[in-house]
């Protein structure tokens, strides 16, 4: 009976390890996406010679 309890405990730990591995992979992918997004946003420089508003022409 003791072996059966250990087997179920081992299976539970294996499921927890798979879940934690899944969470870590999702976290790394999301951090990479945020980092890439920040690089893209900071890489876009708006032209400074154009005014921020549209001037009305007479």
Residue with structure tokens 């879940």? 19
Q: Which distant-in-sequence residues (6+ apart) come within 8 Å of 20 by Cβ?
A: none
Q: How many CA atoms lie within 13 A of 7 on its CB side?
A: 4
Sort residue 6 into left (φ over 0), alpha (ψ -120 to 50) or beta: alpha
What pTM, to 2 d.p., does this model score? 0.53
pLDDT band at 41 (very low <50, low <70, confident <90, very high): confident
Mean pLDDT, the chain, integer? 76
Eight-state DSSP code of residue 56: P
């Amino acid at each position: 009976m003791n072996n059966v309890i250990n087997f179920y405990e081992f299976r539970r730990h294996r499921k927890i390890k798979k879940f934690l591995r899944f969470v870590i992979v999702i976290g790394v992918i999301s951090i990479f996406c945020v980092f890439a997004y920040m690089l893209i946003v900071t890489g876009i420089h708006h032209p400074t010679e154009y005014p921020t508003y549209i001037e009305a022409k007479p």
